[in-house]
Amino acid sequence: MCIMSREHNIKNQQSHLKQLKHLILDLDGTIYKGETLFPFVHEFFDIIQNLGIGYTFITNNSAFSVRQYLQKLNTLGLPATVDTIYTSALMTIDYLQSRMKGIKRLFIVGTDGLKSEFRDEGFEIVTSPETQCPDAVVVGFDPNLDFTALCKAGYWIQRDVPFIATNPDRICPTDQKTLLIDCGSLCAALETATGKSPDAVLGKPDPRMIQGVINRKHLENGDVAVIGDRLYTDMEMAKRADVLSVLVLTGETQPDDISDCSVQPDIVVDNVLEFAKILQKYR
């Protein structure tokens, strides 16, 4: 997308930019890369806070609890609180509480952080599936995957226990020399073994991820913009939720990728600071 096209798109969104109240922010590739904060991020937050614009950090990574994410973000010097973080684990909890209200006992393929999120919301975590029948199987990202747990999950899925995926990601981004197998790949293995696909796949790009933030913050769709670095998750989710989509070029997407994609962002900027300065201009 050329510079003139970018400027044209921004001018077309003037009225939307003037009414924005809240930014939904992707993390890896948008705010930081791996463990390294982008150098312009503090100035970005200074500007949007001075403009009175709120924000929520969102992530598909269900390995960590909200409090663990809070510790990481605060260590990086970011202005985060428990109320400014929304993960695919929280979306899964919201989904179960609103759509599958009878489910209380869960067998979870995931980390202790993921299990603690569900336990804190009143769910019972089944630890002995040989003697206890779970109401549902929940699969998340687990860097310390236990093969036995995966097999037990398959056993119950094969017996028609509801199968819930916290997100569709096949791999988890990393700046290390490895490949991190994520929730989507684990679910693909379970689907191949059992012949059953997940009953629900949550997280980005499902627009209910945005709706979870909107509901918690008492917002309207027109109040919100999504900022992220991936066309097929962040931008796709924004389009499906009918909210403003802002693509940054600090992560996965390169400029040449945009024209070939069926999902076209409303605004393209080099980084989040550039977008904050655009907001300053139109407020």
Q: Which residue has the higher pLDDT, 143 or 6?
A: 143
Q: Which structure tokens are listed for 36?
A: 């390294």
CB proximity list for 256: less than 8 A, separation 6 or greater: none
Query: pLDDT of 196-244, one tens digit each?
Result: 999 999 999 999 999 999 999 999 999 999 999 999 999 999 999 999 9
In sequence order, which ranges of 125-204 are alpha helices (DSSP H)?
A: 147-158, 183-194
Report the 3 state secondary structure along 226-281: EEECCHHHHHHHHHHHCCEEEEECCCCCCHHHHHCCCCCCCEEECCHHHHHHHHHH
Cα gap 222→220, rounded to integer Å: 5
Residue 103 has pLDDT above 80, yes or no: yes
Residue 3 has pLDDT above 60, yes or no: no
Cα gap 271→4, rounded to integer Å: 17
Q: Which residue has the higher pLDDT, 15 or 57?
A: 57
CATH of range 102-201; options 3.90.45.10, 3.40.50.1000, 1.20.1290.10, 3.60.20.30: 3.40.50.1000
256: exposed, middle or buried (Cβ count in 10 Å: 0-12, 13-18, 19+):
exposed
Q: Which structure tokens are listed for 21?
A: 């109240």
| Of 64, 68, 98, 63, residue with least CA distance to 82 | 68
Residue 125 has pLDDT above 70, yes or no: yes
Asked if the domains at 7-60+204-265+278-282 and 102-201 fall in one CATH topology, the answer is yes
Cα dist. 214→24, 57, 147, 210 in Å? 10, 13, 37, 6
Q: What are the domain boundaries of the chain?
A: 7-60+204-265+278-282, 102-201
Amino acid code (one letter) for 24: I
Q: Residue 252's pLDDT band (boundaries 50, 70, 90)?
A: confident
Of all residues in the chain, what percent carry a pLDDT higher than 70?
A: 98
Q: How is domain 7-60+204-265+278-282 classified at the CATH fold level?
A: Rossmann fold (3.40.50)
Query: pLDDT of 19-52, one tens digit each?
Result: 999 999 999 899 998 788 999 999 999 999 999 9
